[in-house]
Chain A
Amino acid sequence: MTPGRRFFSLAGERVQLHLSTDDGVPIYLQIVTQVKYLVASGRLSAGEELPPIRTLAERLLVNPNTVARAYRELEIAGIVEKRRTAGTYVSDQGSPLARRERIKILTQRVDALLAEAGQLDIAWEDVVKLIDERHAAMQTTRQKE
């Protein structure tokens, strides 16, 4: 565990948030991004309840207003919804948005990969070839399992 990096569970022990003050990204935004990611990747599913603001604030050791802001942004983005019983739940948003979010997350990774390939002076064709090779290798591994 490096200083400033901590892991905390969100729903039971199953999924965890990872907050850091090392890179300047506002904490509320880190919560928003990670919950979006967890929903998009299916690790949090529709109808699951998020912890109350105060509980999550105490668990993450962050200001309750920060968690409240993250929940508000997630609600505006349609990722979660408040129910009459006062809880915050992952909304039943269907797959199109989830797919869009998934593509968005992957786009960032692809951009980072391309930037790094450029810095290492690896041609685009070779990057594509490498992706093909890795895909084939992973398929083989999976078939063996």
Chain B
Amino acid sequence: MHEPFPSSSPPIVELRRVTRRFGNKTALDDLSLSVPRGGVFGLIGGNGAGKTTLIKHTLGLLKAQTGTVQVFGLDPVQNPVGTLGRIGYLSEDRDLPNWMRVGELMRYTQAFFPSWDEAYARELREAFDLDANARVKDLSRGQRARAGLLVALAHRPELLILDEPSSGLDPVVRRDILGAIIRTIADEGRTVLFSSHLLDEVERVADRVAIIHQGRILLTAAMDEIKDTHRRVTLRFAQSVDRPPALVGTLSLAGEGSEWTYVCSGERGQLRRAAEAIGATVVDDAAMTLDEIFVSRVHA
């Protein structure tokens, strides 16, 4: 749990220069990403940013048109047995077989995974209050997500991949999902990769974050580092200025007259010294939420 990032062991997921087009739309644009072993990796981006396409490449559901994808050091398209058996996956649309009963879904999924833990599966079913005889198609949105989570978790995968797990769910089910993420990584060495647009959840549970925008990775770093190196600084200049000088790492700038607010990437002391150097006084200096950092990066 105290292993420093980036972890010294080889990455669990590695995409190198992957490009993927659908017709004339570029979904992934020369994208490289490395997910270290252990911990929670949060993939954040807006709708259509490429999150789901990226995840489908790690599962071998899509083949890289250019570039390479490796999961556990293996190509998931060429070696689905060696990769998929070690991954638990909850898709965004929770595409479960509608005609099955919950009990049947569990037995059916069990057949694919030698490491399926029957006692754990039963425990999850009870904790999630799922009726073994209920038909998948009759489940509520929340219960359907829980059923999907159950079959993703019960073989105790080395890598748990969740695509927008909280999307459209009530807070109680979201708590179950966050709890499952935390329990999964608290067991030594396991990894969670999840995509989300609910950035307060990502801020709570992720060790590491990548921001994806228009098929490219804009930023990837440890959560602590991202929080430490983004600040909103308000400067007061001696005189009114039309266009204030840029600070190093300025992502956005707003204000008028002698008071201007900068969103900057940089360490706190460094920003203060830079402000002094351009003859300004720091009148406010605030930490930013992940949500604000995301917006400033995407619109920079």
Q: Which A residues are closer than 8 A to B by beta carbons?
A: 3-4, 19, 21-28, 53-54, 57-58, 61-65, 68-69
Contact = CB atoms under 8 A, between A and B. Distances in A.
Nearest to A61: B178
Contact of B40 (A4, A21, A63, A69): A63
Nearest to B291: A21
A3 B292 CA distance: 16
* Interface-central residue, A24, A57, A68, A69, by most chain B CB under 10 Å: A24
B119 interface: no
Interface string B161-186: 00000000000000100110011011
Interface in B256-300: 286-292
B207 interface: yes
Contact of A58 (B39, B183, B206, B289): B183
A64 B287 contact: no
B204 interface: yes
The 8 closest A-B pairs by CB, nearest first: A24-B287, A21-B200, A61-B178, A24-B288, A24-B289, A54-B186, A21-B203, A62-B204
Given A63-B182, A64-B185, A21 B1 contact: no
Interface in B125-177: 175
Given A24-B288, A63-B205, A65-B2, 10 more contacts: A21-B203, A24-B286, A26-B224, A26-B228, A27-B203, A27-B204, A28-B224, A58-B179, A63-B207, A64-B185
Interface of chain B: mostly helix, strand, loop or mixed: helix
A1 B28 CA distance: 40
B2 A68 contact: yes
Contact of B207 (A21, A26, A65): A65
Interface string B1-25: 1100000000000000000000000
B227 interface: yes
A64 B179 contact: no
A21 B186 contact: no
Contacts of A24: 227, 286-289, 292
26 contacts: A19-B204, A21-B199, A21-B291, A22-B200, A22-B289, A24-B286, A24-B289, A24-B292, A26-B224, A26-B287, A27-B203, A27-B204, A28-B224, A53-B1, A57-B186, A58-B183, A61-B179, A61-B204, A61-B205, A63-B39, A63-B182, A63-B207, A64-B185, A65-B2, A65-B207, A68-B1
A25 B290 CA distance: 10
A53 B204 CA distance: 15
B288 A57 contact: no
Nearest to B185: A64
